[in-house]
Amino acid sequence: MHTFLRSLSLIFLVSSCISCSSSVEQTNLFFANAVVDEEVMGKFARSCALCHVSGVADAPIVGDIEEWRSRLGQGEAIIIRNVLEGINSMPPLGYCMSCEVDDFRAMIGFMAGTNSQ
């Protein structure tokens, strides 16, 4: 019985550690770990670029570090929700129906200049 309890608490420990490390990843690294590869850039060019290169309807412009910094200050969860659901003139999914959340992370990091690559 003792061994059983010990292994049960070990499982609990391990699983709580997994969830703690993933939340650290999401809040601290802030898009820095998202990979911007050719596929992501292709999707970006076909959707986000329409508005985020020239600033259509006051869209925050690629590389406008100050503007992006203040938006990133809202926290990743809110920003991702705004991309998925849309906000004001920002359309839901940014017109990218095939984009995954990780694609959005990479694109946002690219626009905000916070990607490591």
Binding region for ligand HEC (CB under 6 A) = 47-48, 50-52, 56-60, 71, 74, 78-79, 82-83, 87-91, 94-96, 99, 104, 107-108
Is the CA virtual torsion 7, 10, 14, 19 positive or negative? positive
- Phi, then psi, of 53 in degrees rounded to 5: -90, -45
Q: What is the largest CA-CA distance in the chain?
A: 66
Identify the DSSP state of 47. Answer: T
Identify the DSSP state of 37. Answer: -
Which of residues 6 and 81 has its CB atom nearest to ligand HEC in the complex? Answer: 81
Which of residues 23 and 88 has its CB atom nearest to ligand HEC in the complex? Answer: 88
Which of residues 18 and 50 has its CB atom nearest to ligand HEC in the complex? Answer: 50
Identify the DSSP state of 59. Answer: P
Q: How far is the CB of 26 from ligand HEC (least distance, A)?
A: 15
Q: How far is the CB of 77 from ligand HEC (least distance, A)?
A: 10
